Structure 1
Amino acid sequence: MFKIGNHLSSAKGYEAMGKMAVKLGANTFAFFTRNPRGGKAKEIDPKDVEAFLQYATEHQIQKLVAHAPYTLNPCSADPALREFAKNTFADDLKRMEYTPWNYYNFHPGSHVKQGVDVGIDYIAQMLNEVLTQEQTTTVLLETMAGKGSEVGRTFEEIRAILDRVELQDKMGVCLDTCHVWDGGYDIAGDLDGVLDEFDRVIGLERLKAVHLNDSMNERGSHKDRHARIGEGKIGLEALAGVINHPVLKELPFILETPNDDVGYAAEIALLKKVRTTP
């Protein structure tokens, strides 16, 4: 099944998100576990979750890709900010168990002039402190564009974090098409080559989800500015190649394009139209 969706607001609850996803034509979706710019999390209503899980089964909603708040920086130079990231991360993993066996995606963070090796060590340290053998959630490191001092701008940096994590089976990767393009990977001209490199460095078995975005920028710009599908420098043809690629086609695809609900519904319909594989 082609799994395609977008980011939805969790403020109204799980069942409401599920119904909105179906209304938009989606069969998966992403959501922020709390305010994406803050630390406050809404209390989870078990009855709402129960209603959502039933609705998800009835409408074949599969593999949610939750997103950590943007404010988390597990490799900050400030110990208080690293502690905040760890505590929030741990709380989110507990909340994720209300909807088990899904994904929790996060930006690795920015090392803020400490150096990438220090940043990688801090990120892995946090993961080793918060991951548990009992959790059903798979944590995804997101590939980044390389803006500023972001960690995760290359496949090698992602691999370096993974190598330091003790509970290997709890980890995966989310590939963001805008980010890897802005990071210098030619997914428009040589998608097979990029995936071969991903496999060589990280291993394709680690790739669990895709953030499907066009880019406002030329390849290698390191700017991270998303564009609507087909309106950016990557282009519709290349992104159609992504969703139809035999290595990627069964993964959940999440739109993070600058859109309203009408725009997302149109993009989902467009991507279903250019989907050529069963």
Structure 2
Amino acid sequence: MKIGCHLSTSKGFKAMGVQALNIDANTFQFFTRNPRGGKAKAIDESDVESLLEIVSEHEFASLLAHAPYTLNPCSNSESTREFALQVMEDDLRRMEYLPGNLYNFHPGSHVKQGVDLGIELIVETLNSVLKPEHRTTVLLETMSGKGTEVGKTFEELKRIIDGVKLSDKMGVCLDTCHVYDAGYDIVNDLDGVLAEFDSIIGLEKLKAIHLNDSKNPFKSHKDRHEKIGEGHIGFEAIERIVNHSALRDLPFFLETPNEIPGYADEIRALRSVYR
């Protein structure tokens, strides 16, 4: 099972690798910079090399870097869109120190400009920042549909991917809390949801899973993660998710409201039911 959680970069890359091993994780997610934005720390190449040694020695799955929440490439503010472009350019340059891994971002909110223009602006940003030499796969995250979020349906994600010239560098990160809140019934019809994803986007584009329970009921269009088994999705449904033939070989990333001991407990519980 390829599973990890969100770890803090505060003590460096090697420390994240060691912390992952300590909780029986074989991958992890991290923010590229402060989740509310701002300048990223300078890369310590020796620290990165130490992490790469851990990743290689312990056969880690792909690592997942997460863009800051403030990134909004389809904002109605030109300065906000420019910030998103600059951050993504910088993040993808920095990700070359960790080649062959994943970079995830929330598509953004169109702020009452309409979904069509929102998608157009997201595509414009991606076409500006993606380069043929990049060795990182950029993931669009499925969203819950709160407010004016783009990416609440598989069709919206497909339209973004189709508009990107280097679409071979694009993929999707499916967030279980978000899709459930958006109205995809992964509790009672997981096969149907995945068949729909496959028919619209293609399962080959699904590269990672954010594994979260939901504090809110089905189709609530909210975004409140809950600990595994303590929300409206429930442990039995999550057990089916991690064992599904279309998903079981993907990397799973916990973003539940936990500290490290809680993540360790969840990883232990999920490994115990993984077949």
User: Could you say which residue in structure 1 is the equivalent of 2:32?
Assistant: 33
After superposition, give the CA deviation of every residue in 1:149-199 in whole Å (9 maximum; x if it has no partner). Answer: 000000011011111100011000000000000000000000000000000
2 CA distance for matches of 1:158 and 1:253? 20
- Structure 1 position 50, deviation (Å): 0.9
Per the alignment, in what secondary structure is the counterpart of residue 72 of structure 2? coil
Aligned pair count? 275
User: Could you say which residue in structure 2 is the equivalent of 1:104?
Assistant: 103
User: Could you say which residue in structure 1 is the equivalent of 2:142?
Assistant: 143
User: Could you say which residue in structure 2 is the equivalent of 1:6?
Assistant: 5
- Structure 1 position 60, deviation (Å): 1.8
- Structure 1 position 24, deviation (Å): 1.3
Letter in 2 for 1:221: S
1 CA distance for matches of 2:146 and 2:88? 23
Mark the runs of 5 or more structure 1 residues left unpaired by the alignment: none
- Structure 1 position 265, deviation (Å): 0.3
Q: Is the 8 A contact 1:11 1:42 kept in 2?
A: no
| In the alignment, structure 1 residue 81 sits paired with structure 2 residue 80 | yes
User: Could you say which residue in structure 2 is the equivalent of 1:54?
Assistant: 53
Letter in 1 for 2:74: C
Percent identity between matched residues is: 64
Q: TM-score, normalised by structure 2?
A: 0.99
Letter in 1 for 2:5: N
User: Could you say which residue in structure 1 is the equivalent of 2:22?
Assistant: 23
After superposition, give the CA deviation of every residue in 1:93-124 in whole Å (9 maximum; x if it has no partner). Answer: 00001010000000000000000111000000
1 CA distance for matches of 2:121 and 2:140? 14
After superposition, give the CA deviation of every residue in 1:255-274 in whole Å (9 maximum; x if it has no partner). Answer: 00000111000000000001
- Structure 1 position 51, deviation (Å): 1.0
RMSD, matched Cα: 0.6
Per the alignment, in what secondary structure is the counterpart of residue 8 of structure 1? coil
- Structure 1 position 37, deviation (Å): 0.9
2 CA distance for matches of 1:65 and 1:54? 17
User: Could you say which residue in structure 2 is the equivalent of 1:162?
Assistant: 161
User: Could you say which residue in structure 2 is the equivalent of 1:228?
Assistant: 227
- Structure 1 position 59, deviation (Å): 1.8
User: Could you say which residue in structure 2 is the equivalent of 1:190?
Assistant: 189
Mark the runs of 5 or more structure 2 residues left unpaired by the alignment: none
- Structure 1 position 249, deviation (Å): 0.6
1 CA distance for matches of 2:115 and 2:198? 22
Moved over 2 A (4+): none
2 CA distance for matches of 1:126 and 1:176? 23
Per the alignment, in what secondary structure is the counterpart of residue 231 of structure 1? coil
- Structure 1 position 40, deviation (Å): 1.6
Q: TM-score, normalised by structure 1?
A: 0.98
